């Protein structure tokens, strides 16, 4: 087994303990398995860098009411890193990243929509061809989100995620107007971490159109990223469905 594959599969003890703690806090034992509402989700962001993730949002009883909830997520991405070799030539290498997180928190139902806040653990790993891998890093994670309807035909969705494993912050803000089969409107997002890497994007999204029980969001626009001379196009797909 290669060092890279072992790093990708080996979750640190802190994350495993966090998942176990969430299970106990949500109900524990047989009650956890028997009386649990689960929403599964997945996403794919494709641009100069790509990232795919999947996970589940769980709550005792029902996710459609105020109370405790948890989010478990795993993801994998690829980006291109530029560096100067010993000969002075600028070279590029693909960097593969793996991530997993488990957060526990609470959601509040308001007349205008839903607010939620979570805290927990995260772990990340990176692998670079021909260079020493950075290894596994773990730390704390904060996650806040809002799904609001200021007026009947409009939707405002905001998410902020901060983690100490990479010293990173990611945020997304979107507004949409109901056009019959979903909410259409502008979106913007940004990411930055302690290494100095950053990216920002602006585009259009169509959110919450359904195919049977499957709900989807599609997005497209332009993305700016550190180390690149100009913007590149991006497309994104997100799906969610009750289990």
- Domain-by-domain residue ranges, the chain? 3-242
pLDDT tens digits along 222-242: 999 887 888 999 999 999 999
| Integer angstrom CA distances of residue 159 from 44, 88, 92, 129 | 16, 41, 32, 33
pLDDT digits (tens, 9 = 90+) for 143-185: 999 999 999 999 999 999 999 999 999 999 999 999 988 999 9
Assigned token pair, 15: 């994350």
> What burial letters (b/e) apply to 6-35, b meaning 16+ CB within 10 Å?
ebbeebbeebeebbeebbeebbeeeebeee
pTM, two decimals, is: 0.82
Q: Which fold has domain 3-242?
A: Porin (2.40.160)
């Amino acid at each position: 087994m290669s060092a890279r594959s072992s790093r990708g599969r080996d979750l640190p003890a802190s994350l495993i303990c966090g998942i176990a703690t969430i299970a106990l806090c949500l109900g524990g034992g047989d009650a956890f398995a028997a009386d649990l509402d689960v929403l599964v989700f997945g996403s794919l962001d494709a641009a100069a860098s790509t990232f795919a993730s999947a996970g589940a949002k769980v709550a005792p009883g029902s996710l459609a009411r105020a109370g405790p909830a948890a989010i478990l997520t795993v993801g994998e991405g690829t980006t291109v890193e530029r560096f100067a070799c010993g000969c002075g030539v600028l070279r590029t290498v693909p960097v593969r990243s793996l991530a997993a997180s488990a957060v526990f928190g609470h959601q509040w139902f308001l007349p205008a929509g839903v607010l939620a806040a979570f805290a927990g653990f995260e772990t990340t790993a990176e692998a670079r061809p021909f260079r020493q891998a950075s290894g596994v890093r773990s730390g704390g994670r904060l996650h806040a989100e809002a799904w609001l309807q200021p007026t009947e035909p409009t939707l405002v969705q905001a998410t902020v995620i901060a983690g100490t494993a990479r010293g990173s912050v990611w945020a997304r803000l979107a507004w949409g107007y109901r056009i019959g089969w979903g909410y259409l409107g502008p979106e913007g997002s940004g990411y930055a971490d302690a290494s100095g890497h950053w990216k920002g994007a602006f585009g259009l999204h169509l959110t919450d159109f359904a195919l049977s029980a499957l709900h989807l969001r599609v997005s497209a626009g332009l993305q700016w990223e550190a180390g690149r001379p100009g913007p590149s196009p991006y497309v994104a797909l997100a799906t969610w469905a009750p289990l």
